[in-house]
Amino acid sequence: MTLLHILEVLGVLYLMELAFFSRAARRSRMAHRSAPTPQGYPKVSVVVAAKDEERNLPACLQSLLNLAYPKELLEIVVVNDQSADSTPQIIDEAARESRFVKRVDAVESVSTRGKANALAQGIDRAQGELIFLTDADCVVPPTWISETLKYFDDDTGIVGGVTLISNASQRVYGIQALDWDFLLTVGAGAATIGQPVACLGNNLVFRKKAYEEAGGYRKIKFSITEDFALFKAIAHSHKWKYKFPMDKKNLVETLPVPSLKEVFLQRKRWATGGKDTGLFGIVTLAPGFLFHWALIVSLFYSPAVFLIFFLLKTMVDGAFVSPTLRLYGKIAHLKFIVYFEIYYLLYVAILPFSVYLGRAIIWKGRRY
């Protein structure tokens, strides 16, 4: 079989993979049409883990204070995760102005570590029936709580939400933005068909009862992607339903990291935590991995063949992610599609080797 035939076969498999996830993602985008209006207002707690976040935390807190939800039924628990900057003082100032804001200081634990440790201690102090998680570098919309409640019925234990990059003004930011757009489209679609392969802890909501029944972060096997570990623990309990709707009204926006090096380290951390996606994740993602490698090899044998398949792939990827971009008003991200494709080609081909053969991960000053 010639290289051209290999590219054709793998290209068709990659197209089928995207078509499969595209159909599933469409169901996720349509979920809001059948979501009922929430009946009543439960007590909810927002938990934010903050480590050295003096630059980002004020904007995050302001968005939380602007939530359109009865303040007597809302509490905001901000966990100071052993910060060395003014993060504790920023939390205290917010708590003085709003009585429903409280500060929790995380301490070292023998049962868990990292961000999971901080979240566990914050959730312990949370009094809400539902726990909303976000990050200190995120901004939530005023409708975040009220719109997410639509997806909770008596049998639902956890709901994932979409988070996208807020600033795509530069090339590095635009590459990240499309990466998030692509990843969340796949993740939301996979969850809709009963196969959770990804979620983000900066837009994650769960029943505290479901969390406690799963054992909480102290009993769940440690993962550097603690959000996905929790999602799987509740989803695989077979007692609670899980959902991952794509809904513009509960979109959370996050800041990009400043360099491609940091992008790669962030994706390596995600991929390391995502090694437990199981057979479904491996089988469905294998065509993309092999197709990207075949493209790289073709560059050295026939630049013309490489260029043709690269342009075809760019158009297919753009078509795949466009419905998500239109839904969230992010269609301008497509102007970075060529830069994203170059990055994505190398990222998909190299990242698995880095995950399985690379060194330990250092994140937020901690080594994993």
The residue with greater pLDDT, 36 or 299, is 299
Q: Where in the chain is the domain with CATH 3.90.550.10?
A: 41-265
The residue-averaged pLDDT of 116-121 equals 94
Instruction: Tell me the pLDDT tens digit for each residue of 328-368.
Output: 999 999 999 999 999 999 888 887 777 666 666 666 666 66
pLDDT at 359: 65
Looking at residue 351, its amino acid is L
Task: Quote the pLDDT of residue 363.
Answer: 63
What pLDDT is stored for residue 89 in this prediction?
98
Q: Look at residue 138 and give its three-state secondary structure.
A: strand
pLDDT at 265 over 90: no
Main-chain phi, psi angles of 92, to 5 degrees: -60, -40
Q: What's the pLDDT at 361?
A: 66
What's the CA gap between 18 and 5, in Å, rounded?
20
Tens digit of pLDDT for each residue in 202-249?
999 999 999 999 999 988 887 667 888 898 889 888 899 999 999 999
Whether pLDDT at 76 is above 90: yes
Mean pLDDT computed over 76-101: 96
pLDDT at 144: 97
Q: Which residue has the higher pLDDT, 357 or 93?
A: 93
Position 326 confidence tier, pLDDT thresholds 50, 70, 90? very high
For the chain, the farthest-separated pair of C-alpha atoms sits apart, in whole angstroms, at 71
Q: 276-323, pLDDT tens digit by residue?
A: 666 666 777 788 889 999 999 999 999 999 999 999 999 999 999 999
The whole-number average pLDDT for the span 169-176 is: 94
Q: What is the model's pLDDT at position 311?
A: 97
**For residues 238 and 98, which has the higher predicted lDDT (pLDDT)?**
98
**DSSP notation for 174-242:** HHHHHHHHHHHHHHHHHHHTT------TTSEEEEHHHHHHTTHHHHSPP-SSHHHHHHHHHHTTSSSEE
Mean pLDDT of the chain: 90
Looking at residue 191, its pLDDT comes to 85
pLDDT at residue number 193: 83
Q: Fold for domain 41-265?
A: Spore Coat Polysaccharide Biosynthesis Protein SpsA; Chain A (3.90.550)
What single DSSP character describes residue 137? Answer: T
pLDDT at 117 over 90: yes
pLDDT band at residue 43 using 50, 70 and 90 as cut-offs: very high
29-48: average pLDDT: 86
Residue predicted with more confidence, 114 or 332: 332
Q: For the whole model, what pTM was predicted?
A: 0.91
pLDDT, residue 356, reads 66
Closest CA to 200 of 171, 172, 258, 161: 161
Average pLDDT of 52-58? 97
Q: Smallest Cα–Cα separation from 273: which of 355, 348, 362?
A: 355
Q: What is the pLDDT of residue 122?
A: 97
Average pLDDT for 106-119: 87
